[in-house]
Amino acid sequence: MTTRVLIVDDEILVRVALKTLIPWEEHGFEIIGEAANGVEALELLSREACHIILSDIRMPEMNGLDFMNHVRVRWPETKFIILSNHNDFEYVQKALRLGAADYTLKLAYTPEELLDKCKRLQQSLRSEQQERSEKNKLDYKIKYLERKSTELTLLDLLVKQRSRLEVDHLHRDGMLPPFVLEGCRVIVAAVDNYQQVLEENRFQSEQLLIYTVSNIFAELLKKYEQCQLVDMHNRKLVILAGSYSEDMLDELKAAGGTFAKVNVSFGVSRDSFSAYQLNEGFRQAEQALSRRFFHEGRHILYPLEDDEVQPKVSILQSGHWNGLLETADRDVILEELRLWIALLQEEEGMGAAWVREQWLQWLHLVCLQMGQPDNILYVMPEHQERYPFDVIRNAETLREIGDWFFGWLPAAVALMGQSSQPVYRDEVKEIIRIMEEEYASSLKVSDLAKRAGFAENYLSVMFKKETGVKIVDYLTQIRMQKARELLRNPTYKIYEISEMVGYADSNHFSKYFKKIEGLFPLEYRKTMTGRKQGSLENPSKTKE
């Protein structure tokens, strides 16, 4: 680092001598300018950073002592070396008391002597800078750890119900912001179209996406009193607001759109909650955010009132839909689907989970009408590189599910018109037989083509024409169907099931399973533990 020096003296010959007689640059110094008095020097300092000032004491307009006082207030880290005459000793003493680092006699100094004084100050400045840097790092780490400790404490109170005694201990230990103990609104924030944002790969990772949004929110919330941001580590952020306003959320949403190019929705608790009740407040805010499923476009949502929640009774008329699907009349089926979605939209009181269950029941009826052999429900067309179970389970809004099925259903209806026992040519039957028997091996299309006696491209085209599905997709669907069966058995590890269905890499297996099923294998197994055997094939059955 270059040490910047300012020369202040009303005698021009002194200034010229100081600039020219010492080889400043050779020793890491830079003369940033010169001034004839304190007024000129202050003006120059307002534009230029400076580390060392060589200043006379007696000058017109503003003397050296007054000049030092001004600098000490505005730039306290700047060092002074006083330039004095023999009869200025009293002024020199005052300057030293004001904090001057050293002094030298203008008529008696040698360039080497003054350079040595400046070099000692230079070393002192570097040591002080290093100490400040280390102290700043330490202070930052302490504040960071304190902030993270507070966040983790609040996260724990949000997700778990704690006793009053436990909360009192946390408060006494300084782990809780005071306003949280008194009462605050709980706000859950989530990025809209989350999966789509990730797939666009603007953020490279899920962690960076949440980190970016969190930083934007944290910076804006500094202007609001009594606010605390908590990362829930589950794609969501929580804001605890002692003083709540929708304007604050509007500003956060605008900032997310401007700086991160994402839309954000907020679920807000109906009431204020103290630290003793944060878990209940979080539950309310989560329930409010879940209403996003029914209200695409609304970014601030509040919980339903208790009297708006209805008993969960299915509205799917299986007999009616069976009759419609048997006709395989595309236009009639699509129109009925449109009316049914409108009915679902009115059932907000049932909740999003209930609506998704209705869709699973409806999909089961469609699969039955498709009449696929061996009950392989996955041998159905994909749409927009997604599969039905994934859409039902992971779509953020009812509209997203409806729009996707309107695009998907025509191809499914076309399959309904086919025989429940499709007649394939012998070569295709043989390929299907091989896949069904050897799915656990590392089968490749090229291997299948050799065994069938066809060129690989010809076999691929013929298989797709006969079955409506690519060979690779058909094999994947067989493997996934077998994986679903194996996952019902808790004695198998996920990596064991992966190998049993032909995947050496369990991560690769989990990726494909999630794409089709909408759940990772372990999530699927946990879901199945609450269902009767076979209930996924018939979601209308009751849970245990």
pLDDT of 421 reads: 54
155 near 240, Cβ under 8 Å?
no
- Is residue 92 a contact partner of residue 84, using CB atoms and an 8 Å limit? yes
Residue span(s) of the chain under CATH 3.30.70.270 come to: 160-303
Query: Do residues 424 and 433 touch, judged by C-beta distance below 8 A?
Result: no
155: its two tokens: 């996260």
pTM: 0.65
Give 3-129's CATH code, choosing from 3.30.720.210, 3.30.413.10, 3.40.50.2300, 3.40.50.10470: 3.40.50.2300
Multiple choice CATH, 424-544, 1.20.1440.230, 3.40.50.2000, 3.30.720.200, 1.10.10.60: 1.10.10.60
Query: Three-state SS across 358-419?
Result: HHHHHHHHHHHHHCCHHHCCCCCCCECCECHHHHHHHCCCHHHHHHHHHHHHHHHHHHHCCC
Average pLDDT, 10 consecutive residues per value, the chain (544 residues): 91 91 93 93 93 90 90 92 81 87 85 92 90 83 76 92 90 88 94 87 82 93 92 92 94 95 95 93 95 93 80 77 85 92 90 91 83 49 84 93 92 67 79 91 90 90 85 89 90 93 92 88 83 41 32
For residue 97, the model assigns a pLDDT of 87
Task: Check if CATH label 3.40.50.2020 holds for domain 160-303.
Answer: no
Per-residue confidence (pLDDT) for residue 311, from 0 to 100 = 66
pLDDT at position 312 is: 67
Q: 273, 280 in Cβ contact below 8 A?
A: yes
In the chain, which residues fall in CATH 1.10.10.60?
424-544
- Positions of CATH 3.40.50.2300 in the chain: 3-129
Integer CA distances (angstroms), 134 to 1, 50, 130, 264, in order: 17, 22, 6, 38
The amino acid at 155: L
- CA 137 – CA 506 distance, rounded (Å): 42
